[in-house]
Amino acid sequence: MKTTITEKQPLVARRSFIKVTALAGGGFMLGSYFGIGEQSAVAQTTMPATMPTTQSARNAAGDFAPSAFIRISPSGVVTIISKNPEIGQGIKTSLPMIIAEEMEVPWESVIVEQAPLNGAFTGQVAGGSTAIPSNYGRMRRLGATARTMLITAAAQTWNVPAEECIAEDGVVVHTTSGTRATYGELAAKAATLPVPDEKSVTLKEPKDFKILGKRIGGVDNIKIATGAALFGIDQQVPDLLYATYTKCPVFGGKVSSANVDAIKKMRGVRDAFVLEGGNGLGAGVAIVADSTWSAFKAQQKLQITWDNGDKATHSTASYTEQAEAFAKASPQKEVAKVGDVDAAFASAAKTAEGMYFYPHLSHATLEPQNCTAQFKDGAMHIWAPSQNPGSAQDVVVKALNIPKDKISIDMTRIGGGFGRRLMHDFVVEAAAIAQKLNGPPVKLTWTREQDMRHDYYRVGGWHKLKGAVDESGKVVAWSNHFITFGENSIDRAGNGANVGADEFPNRFIPNYNLGQSIISSHVPLGFWRAPGSCAYAWTFQSFIDELAHAAGKDPLEFRLTLLGEDREVPGSGGRGRPYSATRAKGVLKLAADKSGWGKTLPRGQGQGIAFHFSHQGYVAVVADVTVSKEGELKVNRLTAGVDVGPIINLSGAENQVHGSMIDGYSAALLQEITVAGGQVEQGNFHNYPLLRMPDSPAVDAHYIETAKEPTGLGEPALPPTAPAICNAIFAATGKRIRSLPLSKQDLTWS
């Protein structure tokens, strides 16, 4: 994942360090700074009290632009800045919780502010479930640094040893005399102290945590419940104009001609123009109007002659034909080869074979893509619902030739990410329109149809699988011909379209082959919640179930046997991520235990189990389903066993696990993006449905809090859900599901 610190520094390495700043009037600010050279531990600056807002932080020039993490006002108000994009994963609550815990401030008294893009924060990305593992230690040390400085300030003021002072609930107490001072009272003094080396500060013992591990509600809950939370699409700027941008329905097509002169005459339309595109900007026609509706109406009257290029022949049917042809041949490329699968198949007690298929998916964030931008006096300001604003800045630099230091980005609350907003086509389009307008602010809003037809899709794919078990029921061979997509390439799989050489069950089976063939397609591919895993976990965990049944074994016991002894299996050749059989077995047993695995059920009811390791997290899911003879599926309950180490926010964690499981079910049940004539056929929720309340199953989440650094939970509960459901369908009906979505499969039984 690209982070914000990508620019080359030719002379001296830039680094970020913690620095304290005194606020006029007696306040304290602790922030991360980008600077050149050595840390200036005693360097202090005094800033006016009005200065250290996030807005001014962005505007402050030079290497020493502060990115405040913590501010304490003289009256004792503690403000903690959340640096990462909030897409519904709860990071705006959980990162400040970590700081507040170590700082020893009551959570109820903390004010949380959203940061803008600022390189000194580093890692302002919502992607890959990485925010917790990459920030946990750093946020703790920041909070502990502030606490240490406040204690030192009190000790010096009272002329007592710091060891005799403790901090609790926003107050420093001298334990022997009982003298007390609030953080507000100590802020001015603390701001004059040198910043201790962040590695030297003492962290709290987890057993003393008062905030972490508790159920903490989202910091924006009241705003959301009253309609006051502002998403990207809600940005209001004085004299705002409203825009649409229409691109060729065939991906990559160009504008030959458009009736922009007629459009310009429509009521409410201020301007209309063609943008040729290039350097990351797709070609299209912009309409600028005085309201969103005027722009949408004018868009309906657009008459564009497109140059479709040579991709208008692409279709899902032709992709399927190519896949079927590939399946008959040997893979184009060998990805992994262990042992001798052919010999193992020849001597195996039982074998199973199956061809699995899953479709392309759209992200369908409920907030359609949108962005507000203003280009004025050579500087671009952007209000963006972006999962990676640093990357957004980079793509605007490239597409529009504006210097990086002239592009500032405010990070808005985001109405769903799921990976869609790691790509910044909509940001570049808004910025390009703003650049052309040169002055007024403009908000670009995509229609739902545009959003669904110009996505970076979750890649579809096929897996031709063969497996073998020995007399004792152990898996002895596994071969997989994986047929995937390249983006206009037959050599390189697209984003999210790879299966890693180490992917499970490799490393757990003595004879293993993974081969790959690539279909070239012009369909843009992107990262969709739990990229890769969201697709192939279904395939592999379904096929493991097939092997369990071929061996005549209980699906849980079969998996525990496959995982083998408690141990951590290193990556191939000592490289790559290790795989903990211990933790995988732990979550399997937990999910099985909590779901009452092993019930004897009548025909038409079934339990299924699956597990997966992704994003550093281990999750197993048990599904309980009922299938009527007429083939009507009801998922009664999904039970998750989760090991991502210690839980930061119990309420937020539960939301992520519940949401991931239902999202996984929704996609597997209902969703498929198809292509005809080079264009995506679906356009709105009538032909690309999302699961609704009446079909939402009961869900529950259980945890093993293995004593490790915590890892992220936005993604890992999704991959094992669909296979658990399909395995339960098999248990209920005897029908093995090898193709998605489920709504297109015949589940009738007699």
Give the sign of the dihedral formed by CA 408, CA 413, CA 415, CA 417: positive
Q: Do 677 and 317 form a contact (C-beta atoms < 8 A)? A: no
Beta carbon of residue 614, minimum distance to other proteins (angstroms, whole number) = 19
Binding mask 404-443 for other proteins (x = CB under 8 A): ---------xxxxxx-------------------------
Residue 434 CB, nearest distance to other proteins (Å)?
A: 18
**For other proteins, which residue of 692, 709, 734, 748 counts as binding (CB under 8 A)?**
692
Verify cis geometry, omega within 30 degrees of 0, for the bond prior to 440: no
- Report, in Å, the least distance between residue 30 CB and other proteins: 29
Give the footprint of other proteins on residues 183-222 (CB under 8 A). Answer: 215, 217-218, 220-222
Contact flag: residue 292 with other proteins (CB under 8 A) = yes
Exactly one of 691, 729, 731, 747 binds other proteins (CB under 8 A); that residue is 691
The SS3 call for residue 36 is strand
For the bound state, the minimum distance from the C-beta of residue 225 to other proteins, rounded and expressed in Å, comes to 4
Closest to other proteins by CB, 228 or 325 = 228
Whose CA is closest to 547, among 603, 505, 589, 599?
A: 505
The two beta strands, 165-168 and 171-174, are antiparallel
CB of 385 to other proteins, least distance (A): 10
CB of residue 161 vs other proteins: minimum separation in angstroms? 40
Q: Minimum Å distance from CB 421 to other proteins?
A: 11
Specify whether the CB–CB gap between 467 and 546 falls below 8 A. Answer: yes
Radius of gyration of the chain (CA): 28
Query: By the 8 A CB rule, do 26 and 50 touch?
Result: no
Q: Which residues contact 226 (CB under 8 A, 6 or more apart)?
A: none
Nearer to other proteins, 266 or 601 (CB): 266
Q: Could you say which of 184, 531, 652, 678 contacts other proteins (CB under 8 A)?
A: 652
CA nearest to 136, candidates 713, 714, 711: 711
With beta carbons less than 8 A apart as the criterion, state whether 354 and 418 touch. Answer: no
Segment near other proteins (CB under 8 A), from 45-53, 113-121, 558-566, 689-697? Answer: 689-697
- The stretch near other proteins (CB under 8 A) out of 59-67, 85-93, 388-396, 477-485 is 85-93
**Site string (321-360) toward other proteins, x via CB under 8 A:** ----------------------------------------
CA torsion angle for 286, 292, 296, 299 (degrees, to 10)? -20
* Sole residue written with tokens 């209001």: 236
Rounded distance between C-alpha atoms, residue 107 and residue 101, angstroms: 8
Residue 509 in contact with residue 480, Cβ under 8 Å?
A: no
57: alpha, beta or left? (left if phi > 0; alpha if psi -120 to 50): alpha
Environment class of 300 (CB within 10 Å of its CB; exposed 0-12, middle 13-18, buried 19+): exposed
User: Please, which residues have CB within 8 angstroms of residue 11's CB and are 6 or more apart in sequence?
Assistant: 36
Cβ closer to other proteins: 452 or 476?
A: 452
User: Which is nearer to other proteins, 162 or 230 (by Cβ)?
Assistant: 230
Structure tokens at 399: 């597409």
Give the Cα separation of 372 and 240 in Å (integer). 9
Binding test (CB under 8 A) with other proteins, winner from 26, 66, 90, 119: 90
Residue 699 binds other proteins, judged by CB under 8 A: yes
Min CB(34)–other proteins separation in Å: 30
| Residue from the set 58, 436, 448, 735 that interacts with other proteins by CB under 8 A | 448
3-state helix, strand, coil in the chain (%, to 5): 30, 30, 40
Find the binder of other proteins among 203, 293, 334, 634 (CB under 8 A): 293
Q: Restricting to residues 219-278, name those near other proteins by CB under 8 A.
A: 220-222, 224-231, 233-234, 236, 242, 267-268
Distance CA 473, CA 349 (A): 9
The nearer residue to other proteins, 13 or 225, going by C-beta atoms, is: 225
Q: How far is the CB of 65 from other proteins (least distance, A)?
A: 30
Least Å distance between CB 451 and other proteins? 10
**Nearer to other proteins (CB atom), residue 184 or residue 664:** 664
Write out the binding residues for other proteins, residues 101-160 only, by CB under 8 A: none
- Tally Cβ neighbours within 10 Å of residue 631: 13
Q: Cα 323 to chain center, whole Å?
A: 30
Contact between 290 and 441 under an 8 Å Cβ cutoff? The reply is no
Query: Which of residues 124, 408, 445, 498 is near other proteins by CB under 8 A?
Result: 445
Asked whether the bond before 389 is cis by omega within 30 degrees of 0, the reply is no
Size of residue set near other proteins by CB under 8 A: 66
Q: Cβ 413 to other proteins, closest distance in Å?
A: 7
Decide whether 420 or 481 has the Cβ nearer to other proteins: 420
For other proteins, which residue of 698, 743, 744, 748 counts as binding (CB under 8 A)? 698
Q: Which residues pair with 613 in a beta bridge?
A: 618
Region from 158-166, 243-251, 286-294, 482-490 binding other proteins, contact rule CB under 8 A: 286-294
What is the distance between the alpha carbons of residues 375 and 638, in angstroms, rounded to a whole number? 49
- CB of 41 or CB of 690, closer to other proteins: 690
Rounded to whole angstroms, the Cα distance separating 401 from 173 reads 56
> Least separation, in Å, of the C-beta of 729 and other proteins?
20
Nearest approach in angstroms of CB 245 to other proteins is 16
**CB closer to other proteins, 151 vs 633:** 633
Rounded distance, CA 72 to CA 26, Å?
9
Q: Which two tokens stand for residue 474?
A: 């152990």
Q: How many CA atoms lie within 13 A of 279 on its CB side?
A: 13
106, 116 Cβ separation under 8 angstroms: no
Binding residues for other proteins restricted to 658-687, rule: CB under 8 A: 658-659, 661-663, 666, 684-686
- Contact between 454 and other proteins by CB under 8 A: the answer reads no
Binding stretches for other proteins (CB under 8 A): 86-90, 215, 217-218, 220-222, 224-231, 233-234, 236, 242, 267-268, 291-294, 296-297, 364-368, 413-418, 445, 447-448, 651-652, 655-656, 658-659, 661-663, 666, 684-686, 690-694, 696, 698-699
